[in-house]
Amino acid sequence: MNPTDLTIAQARDLLAKGELSSMELVEAHIDAMETSRELNAYITETPEMALAMAQDSDARRARGEGNGLLEGIPVAIKDLFCTKGTLTTAGSHILDGFHPVYESTVTANMWRQGAVMLGKTNLDEFAMGSSNLTSYHGPAINPWKARGDHRARVPGGSSGGSAAAVAGRLALGATGTDTGGSIRQPAAFTGTVGIKPTYGRCSRWGIVAFASSLDQAGPMTRSVRDAAIMLRAMAGHDGKDSTSADVAVPDFEADLDKGVKGMTIGIPKEYRSEAMAGEIEALWQQGSAWLEEQGARMVEISLPHTKYALPAYYIVAPAEASSNLSRYDGVKYGLRVEADDLLSMYEKTRAAGFSKEVKRRILIGTYVLSAGYYDAYYLKAQKVRTRIAEDFRDAFGHVDAILTPATPSAAFPADEPPSDPVAMYLNDIFTVPVNLAGLPGMSVPAGLSGEGLPLGLQIIGKAFDEATVLRVGRAIEHAAGFDTRPEGF
Amino acid sequence: MSFDKTTVARISRLARIATTPAEQERLAGELGGILAWVEQLDEVDVAGVAPMTSVVEMNLKAREDVVSDGGDAEAILKNAPSSAHGFFVVPKVVE
């Protein structure tokens, strides 16, 4: 078996038994990265660092140390996490040449647990997108193709490079971030597992900020067990992020196989619409049947404000982005376009450094926060957000988890993206409400579309109850037996 | 509400992003479309509803008011496009 085909759990066990070295594992991945560059999954490959880290890991193990959760495991890091001394671009021209002088808390946690960095993965610019088409470094490509159609498919976004790397066997796991679906949608598009934990579960310190009240980091892997292992290594309280939650991080793997017997799982009726594709509806019903067969009680629930989640999100997220992205001014780091006066220098630098989609969002955000409009837009959206969170709170009074589709469709062709911004935003219709309410949500591969592309189901849980989300996800994974892989990878 | 070129010019100045008249024309249409779409929020009854200020229920922690970091000008300037004598360099702002 090629070491790149292992899951994290399998690799961990082989490493522990001494039947595999981290060096062998890393070398196999470096080879795979070299032969699969057409996926454009990585913006920066760091093979030398990976080999050095693998050597250190093997040496620790030989000394009888090295009992970290990810000891010797090669992973990819979304290029939104600051990594000390390694180029960090956020997929943007404006961060040209930026080499952080510090390490993000999440990646530092992973290195402390023995993980090995293979490189930094591609993403939509500043994590704003659902296709990876807005990256300054070119689009990442989905390893999956539709049957009888050789056109490249998008891997989803914004964590598209991480999804492509994991699905294409170019990393055992990868970090992602999710502001409105940026872990779950690409996971669904690539047949991988992705979990956005509860807001506050992972520190945001050192992650390039998009929308601070929505951003969360999480793992992207090829199995639910791997997601449980990796999440535990990433999570934990951090004094450097005031919104990081001071709650214990459980061993998410411990209860993974305990099943769903006796659980009550909600099916929100507002997620069903006339427009829903037949195969998405069928997948959702199949998922519900699988859980019922395993002893869960499925009940219909109501989340009445669901339809307002996307419009509220497209006020809150751009507003916060316009503030966060004001730091890119041509003075402190990255690109500068010279001009005679300071104001022109700012304006020209930002005009050249940001792409269309980022400018669009900064301008919307600036508008909704500008004098006279704050109450009508931002404040109103934050009130609607309270309503959305209340809907979930009411539902979780009588259910343990919620099951929905992850995306309204399978991956679309890279040369035929949705025609206008709002149509593109609709990709996140099932995922955005979860970010607005700060809850954990996971996408698990559950089947194939009529065209042979992967489709995912989403499990939503109570705040800080990722353990239940993972358990339900494991039950779906078990029933689905999803073992198809992209041809040639 | 119509979203015109003048409004785009005003907010792009506020956002410190230079835009050409052609871009302003395109953006007026795109941003106007997005704003028209978000106006459906007016259907929601939010009377007496508090705006969300904390995503998950938690109290912000207080910490000791002590200096824990800093004093490293070299690291801070390391990525600057232009710096000199321990300072960022920008175009002249005072005549």
- Asked whether the predicted pLDDT for residue B1 surpasses 60, the reply is no
Nearest to A297 by CA among A257, A262, A267: A262
pLDDT tens, residue by residue, B33-47 = 999 999 999 999 999
On whether the CB atoms of residues A456 and A227 are closer than 8 A, the answer is no
For residue A338, give both structure tokens. 């010279």
Catalytic: A78?
Answer: yes
- What pLDDT sits at residue A155? 98
Please report the pLDDT score of residue B61 as a whole number: 80
Judged by CB atoms closer than 8 Å, whether chains meet at B92 and A341 is answered as: yes
Higher per-residue pLDDT: A137 or B3: A137
At residue B2 the predicted structure's pLDDT band, cuts being 50, 70 and 90, is: low
A99 with B78: Cβ contact below 8 A: yes
Asked whether the beta carbons of A236 and A249 are under 8 A apart, the reply is yes
Instruction: Quote the longest CA-to-CA distance of chain B.
Output: 57
Tell whether A308 is within 8 A of chain B (Cβ). yes
**Chain B residues within 8 A of A322 when measuring between CB atoms:** 15
- B4-31 pLDDT per residue, tens: 999 999 999 999 999 999 999 999 999 9
* pLDDT per position as a tens digit, B41-92: 999 999 999 999 888 877 878 888 999 888 999 999 999 999 999 999 999 8
| Residue A196 falls in the annotated catalytic set | no
Residues 355-374 of A with CB under 8 A from B: 359-360, 362-364, 366-367, 370
Which parts of A138-233 are beta strand (E)?
173-178, 193-196, 216-221
CB contact at 8 A, A354 and A92: yes
b/e code B52-71 from CB counts within 10 Å (16+ = b): beebbebeeeeeeeeeeeee
What would the pLDDT profile of A398-435 be if each residue is shown by its tens digit?
A: 999 999 999 999 999 999 888 778 888 888 999 999 99
Q: Give yes or no for a contact between A315 and A381, defined as CB atoms under 8 angstroms apart.
A: yes
Alpha-carbon distance of A361 to A128, in angstroms, equals 9
Is it the case that residue B95 has pLDDT exceeding 80?
no
Please state, in angstroms and as integers, the Cα–Cα distance from residue A362 to each residue in A195, A320, A417, B13, B82, following that order. Answer: 27, 9, 22, 12, 26
Contact present, A250 and A229 (Cβ < 8 Å)? no
pLDDT at site B22: 96
Low-confidence ranges of chain A (pLDDT < 50): none
The answer to whether A97 touches A91, Cβ cutoff 8 Å, is no
Token pair for residue A249? Answer: 């991080």
- The whole-angstrom distance between A311's CA and the closest CA on chain B is 5
The predicted pLDDT at position A484 comes to 87
Predicted complex ipTM: 0.95
pLDDT for the residue A474: 98
Q: How far is CA A147 from CA A144, A451, A487, in A?
A: 9, 5, 10
Q: ∠A198-A201-A205 over CA atoms, to 5°?
A: 125
Q: What is the pLDDT at residue A379?
A: 95
Task: Write down the catalytic residue from A21, A57, A162, A182.
Answer: A182
Q: How many CB atoms lie under 10 A from the CB of residue A60? A: 17
Of B31, B51, B56, the CB nearest to A379: B51
